[in-house]
Amino acid sequence: MSARYETIGQYLLKRLYEEGVAHVFGVPGDYVLGFYDLMLKGPVRHIGTTREDTAAFAADGYARCRGMGALAVTYGVGALNTVNAVAGAYAESSPVVVISGAPGVREQREDPLIHHRFGPFRFQREIFERITCAAVALDDPVIAFRQIDIALAAARRHCKPVYIEIPADRVLAMGYPIPAEPLTAEASDESALAEAVAETVALMAGAVSPMLIAGVELHRRGLQDVLVALVERARLPVAATLTGKSVIGERHPAYLGVYEGAMSSESARYMVEQSDLLLMLGVTLNDIDTGIYTARLDPKRLVRAAQNEVVIHHHRYPRVLLQDFVAALAVAVNARSEAFPVPAAPEPSDFPQPHRPMTIARLVERLNRALSPEMIVVSDVGDCLFAAIELRVHDRSEFLASAFYTSMGFAMPAGLGAQVARPDHRALILVGDGAFQMTGTELSTHARLGLAPIVVVFNNRGYSTERFILDGAFNDIADWRFDRLGEVFGPMQGYDAPDEAAFEQALNGALANRTMPSLINVRLSPEDASEAMRRLAGHLQSRVKGEG
C-alpha cells in the first residue's frame, strides 16, 4: 500500500515493524481498541499482559534484546500506570515506544468530563515529556507521519523512551506523506577524535598493566563486537560494571568479572585498582557502578570515553562519539600477541549435600554450572541481583537487570519481553519473593504463550536488602506457596526446594521441561545474604541512620 493511502495507525505500525518491533505489549482499553484492531490485520503481533506496568517492563526487556520495544495502552488509567517502568527505561537508556490511545480530537475540543480524564488533556503528554526524549500527539493528519518518524529516530539516536499519543478518531484518519527531511547525523570532530586516539595509543604503549572497564553504553550502542576486537587486538583484561554486565561474553578469557568498588570480588578489585592505565568505555559513574562511591579511580590513570566526549587525565576532547572512539582505537592500537591467562579449572562440586539447607552462595554456584549458551539471565533487584554478579553467562548481552534504577518487579515481565524478542534463548529468571508478589502474575502470560522459562524464587520471607540496611516488621511479607501457582496461572511445573537435594532434583526437572514454565521455590534463611549484599548494606546503613 502506498503511503499516500495509509492511515495514521497503519503508518505507525509499519514504521515500528521497519525498526524491528514485531510485537507490542499492552492491555486493551477503549481509547486504544481501534489501534489494537489494526494490529490484527498486519505483521505486528499484540502480546497481552496482566497489567500496564508489566507491559512497559516487557517492552524494556524486548528493547534490550532487539534494539527497540513498544507498548500500547489506553489513556489515563493505562498510560499513568506505566510511568515507573518508563522512567526506569529512561534512566537505563532503553528505547521503549509508549503508544497511548486518547479521547478523539473532537471530544477533546468539546472538553467534556469523560472517563479516565484527570485534568486538561495535555497533562498526560506533559508528564511523559519528563521521562522520554520525545513526546508527540498525532492530532494533525498533515504532520502525523513526520511526527512518527522524528519520534522513532529520537528513540534510536538517544537510546531513550519516546511517547506517541494517538487520539481514537485519528487511528483510521488518512495521513499525508511529506518528503522526508534528512536527519542530521551526529558526527565526531575529526581532529579531536584523531588526537584522543593518538594520546590513548601512546599511553597504552607505555603502560605496564593497562586494562579496560566496559559500561552499559556499549550495550545500548551495539558496540559489543568492536569491544571484543579491541580487547583481543590489545590483549586487554576487561571488567564490566554491574549495569554493563554481559557486555562481553563472561566465559571469554579476558573477562575478570564485575567491578563496583568495595562491592567487587577481591580479585576484580585488585586488578582494576592496581592498573596503571584504565580505559573506561561507556561507563556511567552512578552510585551502583561505583559501589556507593567506593571505587578507587585515579583521574591521572584514566581514559574515559562517554557518549559525546573523551577525557584523558585532565584533557577533555568534546564532540567525540563513543562508537567512533572505540572503533578507531580498535584499529590504531598496537597489536600484542601475548596469550590471555588460562582460566583455572573449576573446583569439583560437592553439590548437593544431603539435608543441607539452601544458601545463596551454594545456589549461585549450582546455577553457574547449569548455565548454557542458550540461556539469557534476567534478574530482579535485591540480593538475587547482587548474588548474580558471580554468574558468568556464555554470550554477550545475555544478562538483563534494572541494575541502576533498581525497580522491584522488573524481572518477570522483562523476562517475557526477552523471550519474545529472542525465541532461540531460554530465560533464567531470578526474582525475590517480594518482587514476585508485585509482578509475578506475568508468569501466566509465559504459560499462555507456551514459553518455558526457569524461574528461581529467592524466598526469604521479606525484603532482604532493606532488612540488612534497617530491619523491622515492615520488611516482612506473606509466605506464598510459589510452587503451587500453576493451579492458578495455567500450565506450570512447580518445585519446592528447602534443601540442596530438593533443589538439585528441581533444577534437573526444570532443565528437562521445555513445554511450560518451571518455578523453583528456594527456601532461604532471612539471615542469609550474598557477600556483595553484606558489603553494600554496611555502606548504606550509615546513610539511613543519618551518619553519613
Q: Which of the four pLDDT bands, split at 50, 70 and 90, describes residue 1? A: very low
Q: What is the pLDDT of residues 488-532, one digit of tens each?
A: 998 999 999 999 999 999 999 999 999 999 999 999 999 898 877
In terms of C-beta density within 10 A (0-12 exposed, 13-18 middle, 19 or more buried), how is residue 494 classed? buried
Contact (CB, 8 A) for 530 and 364: yes
Contact (CB, 8 A) for 248 and 397: no
Contact (CB, 8 A) for 26 and 50: no
Q: Which of the four pLDDT bands, split at 50, 70 and 90, describes residue 541? A: low
CA distance 410 to 88: 9
Nearest to 326 by CA among 277, 272, 289, 282: 282
CA distance 8 to 141: 7
pLDDT at 464: 82
Q: Which residue has better confidence, 457 or 547? A: 457
pLDDT at 538: 64
Q: Is the alpha carbon torsion for 241, 242, 247, 248 positive or negative?
A: positive
Residue partners of 217: CB distance under 8 A and separation at least 6: 93, 244, 281, 282, 283, 284, 306, 307, 322
Residue type, 206: G
Radius of gyration of the chain (CA): 24
What distances in angstroms separate CA 451 from CA 232, 473, 546, one per listed residue? 37, 37, 47
Class of domain 360-540: alpha beta
Q: What is the pLDDT of residues 401-455, one digit of tens each?
A: 999 999 999 999 999 999 999 999 999 999 999 999 999 999 999 999 999 999 9
What is the residue whose three cell numbers read 541494575? Answer: 403
Q: Mean of the pLDDT values across residues 198-214?
A: 96
In degrees, rounded to 5, the angle at the alpha carbon of residue 233 between the alpha carbons of residues 327 and 297 is 75
Q: Which residue has better confidence, 110 or 241? A: 241
Nearest to 243 by CA among 266, 225, 270, 219: 219
Instruction: List, as one string, the DSSP characters of 7-44.
Output: BHHHHHHHHHHHTT--EEEE---GGGHHHHHHHTTSSP
3-state secondary structure (DSSP) of residue 179: coil
Residue partners of 46: CB distance under 8 A and separation at least 6: 23, 24, 25, 26, 36, 39, 40, 72
Nearest to 128 by CA among 95, 186, 83, 181: 83
Q: Which of the four pLDDT bands, split at 50, 70 and 90, describes residue 544? A: low
Nearest to 105 by CA among 11, 196, 248, 8: 8
Mean of the per-residue pLDDT values for the chain?
92
Grid cell for residue 206? 607505555
Using the predicted structure, report yes or no on whether residue 39 has a pLDDT greater than 60: yes
Residue partners of 194: CB distance under 8 A and separation at least 6: 328
Residue ranges of the chain assigned to CATH 3.40.50.970: 3-170, 360-540
Q: What is the pLDDT of residues 509-521, one digit of tens each?
A: 999 999 999 999 9
Residue ranges of the chain assigned to CATH 3.40.50.1220: 190-332
Q: Mean of the pLDDT values across residues 83-101?
A: 97
CA distance 206 to 209: 9
Contact (CB, 8 A) for 404 and 288: yes
Class of domain 190-332: alpha beta
pLDDT at 430: 98
CA distance 249 to 226: 13
Q: Which residues pair with 164 in a beta bridge?
A: 99, 136
Q: Are strands 238-240 and 255-258 parallel, antiparallel or unpaired?
A: parallel
Model pTM? 0.94
Phi, psi of 142 (to 5 degrees): -65, -35
Q: What is the C-alpha end-to-end distance of the chain, expressed in Å?
A: 63
Question: What fold does the segment set 3-170 form as a domain?
Answer: Rossmann fold (3.40.50)
Phi, psi of 484 (to 5 degrees): -105, 10
